[in-house]
Structure 1
Amino acid sequence: MNILDLGDTHIHWREDGDLAGAPVVFSHALGSDLRMWDKIVPLMPAGLRLIRYDTRGHGLSACPAGPYAMGALIRDAERLLEALDIRDCAFVGLSMGGLIAQGLAVKRLDLVRAMVLSNTAAKIGTPQIWADRIAAVRAEGIEGIADAVMQRWFSRRFRETAELKGWRAMLVRTPADGYAGCSAAIAGADFLTPTSGLTLPTLVLAGSEDGSTPPDLVRETADLVRGSRFHLIRGAGHLPPVEAPEDFAAVLAGFLRGIGHV
């Protein structure tokens, strides 16, 4: 277990692969934790340094009082990379993690040489949608929204498997303060203009069955980044690393090879 003490919070992180290899950093979705990438890590090419972490308010990271700003989530990632002496990483962010990826690339191109945006957008939802979600969590707990989240996250096929129970449990065990705090950060995030100025190598992934960030929304974000590559993973919902890990890993590995990162 690796814990980075940042003073105002602490971040849990994990490292796999070749510790001397080119770094790839993974940032997870709201209501999950670094285990979201468990199926992807073993499928990555040799020679990569694979770093995962729990966003504040999630997993084994601290859950400071909210609400949070997206700038704070970006700063957490920035400080983690600095502490691990990482430069020129490929940063892979899914949903909330994709917002963090965009913000970090805008702020620190010395840290990020390539960006992978999965099931995300430059702006996700509206302030009212997130205000309603936060109110529901405050009133009913995460249990009260869990079934609706599962509907948006996963395809019908996956929802019929026993594995769904584990992902539902992960969501429900997320601290309500952490979920609400990060929801507030997402509500206030709008990278439409900043992301449109990015030119770094970018892969954008969507799931055909995604009920949270539908493919058309994800494609619109891909169109913001000049030269980006868009790929649709058919049959997968909001979390392709969970539902379609082989497809996700193959496309990711191909992208990393194509840019000379491995």
Structure 2
Amino acid sequence: MAFVTVNDVTLHYRHSYGVGIPIVFLNSLGTDFRIWDAVIHQLTVNAPILCLDKRGHGLSDDGPITMDALVGDVSTLMDHLDMKAALICGVSVGGLIAQGLAAARPDLVAGLMLCCTGARIGDAEGWNARIQAVEDQGIASMAEAILERWFSEGFRSGRLADLAGYRNMLIRTSAVGYAGVCAAIRDSDFTDQAPRITMPTHCIAGAIDLATPPALVQALASLINGAHYEELDNCGHLPSIEQSAATARSISSLHETLR
């Protein structure tokens, strides 16, 4: 395990060496960077890879959480590791962080893989209700509803041990960190910034994603000049888990075009 203190928080990360353009993986709300493991194992490129637990998740500190802070953690860690322009792969809030990084530090971004995300996700009323529920009742009170949004019915009924493991990952997330990232999502809107993205971009949607439906991802792709849109069948909110092979193929293909 590797840890570093940046921006007054200690972050847990994993960095491996390779050749060519690096790949950075940014995970979703209520998960840690292990959700990318199956994808990484199936990549057809031997690139340097960085994964990190954003603040408030996994083994990283809580700390004050805003979108600027989340973006700043990624850029500072990349600078610390002397990583240059990379393919940034983000799912859900990770996709928002990726968009923020493209705006704040375009020098660090060679391309974007935006999975199950949007220029804006949800509305203030919905996020405030979720924050209140976490603060009053804890994450476990919402776990079943969240898992229904994360995974298809086939996954939930056919992969019971995996489902239990991902439930553990979710409910063991810091309540403070979870609520803080909810607030960061609530306060983020990249609708005006998305048309200014100039890096090659590929947007992936899960056909049965209830959290960020395909229409939301397609709308994001339409805002970004030249962005490609892909919809994965039998996939909920986390394609890196439910459709890892297809996700790995898309990432490898985009990476090849960046050479």
TM-score range, shorter chain: over 0.9
Given the alignment, which residue of 150, 155, 166 partners 1:153? Answer: 150
Q: Which residue of 1 aligns with 2:119?
A: 122
Report how far residue 188 of structure 1 moved: 0.2
Give yes or no for contact 1:16–1:41 (8 Å, CA) kept in 2. no
Deviations 1:154-193 (A, max 9, x none): 0000011221111111000001000001100000000000
Give yes or no for contact 1:146–1:172 (8 Å, CA) kept in 2. yes
1:135-146 aligned at under 5 Å gives the runs 135-146=132-143
Q: Which residue of 1 aligns with 2:44?
A: 45
Deviations 1:80-114 (A, max 9, x none): 11101111100000000000000000111111111
- CA distance in 2 between partners of 1:77 and 1:106 (Å): 13
Match status 1:56 vs 2:64: no
Q: Which residue of 2 aligns with 1:25?
A: 24
Tell me the TM-score normalised to structure 1 length. 0.96
The 3 A distance-change label for structure 1 pair 112 and 52 is same
- CA distance in 2 between partners of 1:158 and 1:17 (Å): 33
Give yes or no for contact 2:21–2:255 (8 Å, CA) kept in 1. no
Match status 1:200 vs 2:199: yes
Report how far residue 7 of structure 1 moved: 4.9
Q: Which residue of 2 aligns with 1:250?
A: 249
Report how far residue 21 of structure 1 moved: 3.6
Runs in 1 of length 4+ with deviation above 6 angstroms? none
1:186-197 aligned at under 5 Å gives the runs 186-197=185-196
1:201-240 aligned at under 5 Å gives the runs 201-240=200-239
Match status 1:85 vs 2:82: yes
The one-letter code of the counterpart of 1:190 is D
Return 5+ residue gaps in structure 1 as ranges: none
Report how far residue 218 of structure 1 moved: 0.5
RMSD: 1.0
Equivalent residues, number: 257
Report how far residue 237 of structure 1 moved: 0.4
Given the alignment, which residue of 84, 93, 103 partners 1:96? Answer: 93
Question: What is the percent sequence identity of the aligned residues?
Answer: 39
Match status 1:11 vs 2:11: yes
- CA distance in 2 between partners of 1:115 and 1:51 (Å): 14
Return 5+ residue gaps in structure 2 as ranges: none
Aligned to 1:48, the other structure's residue is in SS state coil
